Amino acid sequence: MTRPQFDQAFSLFPLSEIIQSAGSKRKVKRLLETFSCTRNMDLQEFLHDKAITFETNLRSRTYLYVDNTTYEVAAYFTITISTLHTENISPEVIKLLDGYKDDVASIPCFLIGQLGKSDIFKPQKIGEYILNDAIEIIDQSQESLGGRFILLDAINREQVIKFYEANAFFPIEKGTDLESIKMIKPYFSR
Ligand SMILES: CC(C)(COP(=O)(O)OP(=O)(O)OC[C@H]1O[C@@H](n2cnc3c(N)ncnc32)[C@H](O)[C@@H]1OP(=O)(O)O)[C@@H](O)C(=O)NCCC(=O)NCCS
């Protein structure tokens, strides 16, 4: 699927705008419940049960791709500011990530907290476009504020790690027994 087709098929809306214009939370919840993701129930549950509260409490910002034909949520991402805790990271990597010190306990960063597409779009390769849109929005904040990297917790499956690696993220931890792997996209050059 090329980007123009993607743009014609879906419209991207900030959840904050939808909440403002919908008038009732029940209406927004009904829209959010059109999203299903059986491969990642955490992703589905966040959108169904937490996204509105996180949005109204300014914990994060969620962006929805709404299918222009069915008006269902086809995909979404949630982004925010965060901190990376460094307890299991080597001093060399801490220094690389912090840009100054090798012994700090936490480093500020941007976070892609949630990202994924609905079950019905499983055969369509749209992940790259969703990820690029999330990065583009974070880039605008990074330009004004600084910040050294974008963090995300990738599901510890080879194909998922490969997907993020193909999009300029790299893992900062290893472990076959981990459920998820922390990956970053640096703004600094390595
Ligand atoms: C991750 C994602 C955005 C990538 O989208 P895409 O570029 O359109 O590509 P695909 O959906 O084909 O996924 C790429 C590969 O990762 C695998 N994959 C994706 N999500 C997976 C998951 N939750 N569990 C296991 N494998 C998964 C796919 O099966 C595919 O494997 P393949 O190349 O062997 O067919 C999309 O797969 C997705 O939304 N996944 C479900 C939600 C999810 O788990 N999001 C969080 C990821 S950290």
> Per-residue pLDDT tens for 15-35?
999 999 998 999 999 999 999
Indicate which residue's Cα is closest to atom 48 of ligand 1.
154
Among the atoms of ligand 1, which is closest to the Cα of residue 75? Answer: 39
Ligand 1 centroid to Cα of residue 107, in Å, is 28
The pLDDT, as a whole number, for residue 145 is 97
Q: Cα-flanking dihedrals φ and ψ of residue 62, to 5°?
A: -110, 140
The pLDDT, as a whole number, for residue 74 is 96
Q: Is the pLDDT of residue 152 over 80?
A: yes
Q: Is the pLDDT of residue 190 over 80?
A: no
**Residue span of the structural domain in which 42 resides:** 3-186
74 CA to centre of own chain: 15
Q: Is the pLDDT of residue 130 over 90?
A: yes
The pLDDT, as a whole number, for residue 14 is 98
Number of domains in the chain: 1
Indicate which residue's Cα is closest to atom 41 of ligand 1.
116
> Per-residue pLDDT tens for 56-114?
999 999 999 999 999 999 999 999 999 999 998 999 999 999 999 999 999 999 999 99
Rounded to two decimals, what is the model's pTM? Answer: 0.97
What are the residues whose beta carbons fall under 8 Å from the beta carbon of 42, sequence distance 6 or more?
114
Looking at residues 143-148, what average pLDDT do you find?
98
Q: What is the mean pLDDT of the chain?
A: 96
Q: How far apart are CA 136 and CA 133, in angstroms?
A: 5
Indicate which residue's Cα is closest to atom 7 of ligand 1.
127
Helices (DSSP H) in 33-157: which residue ranges? Answer: 41-45, 51-56, 91-98, 127-145
CATH number reported for the structural domain that contains residue 97 in this entry: 3.40.630.30
Ligand 1 centroid to Cα of residue 120, in Å, is 13
Pocket of ligand 1 from Cβ distances under 6 Å: 37, 39-40, 43, 115-117, 125-128, 130, 154-155, 157, 159-160, 163
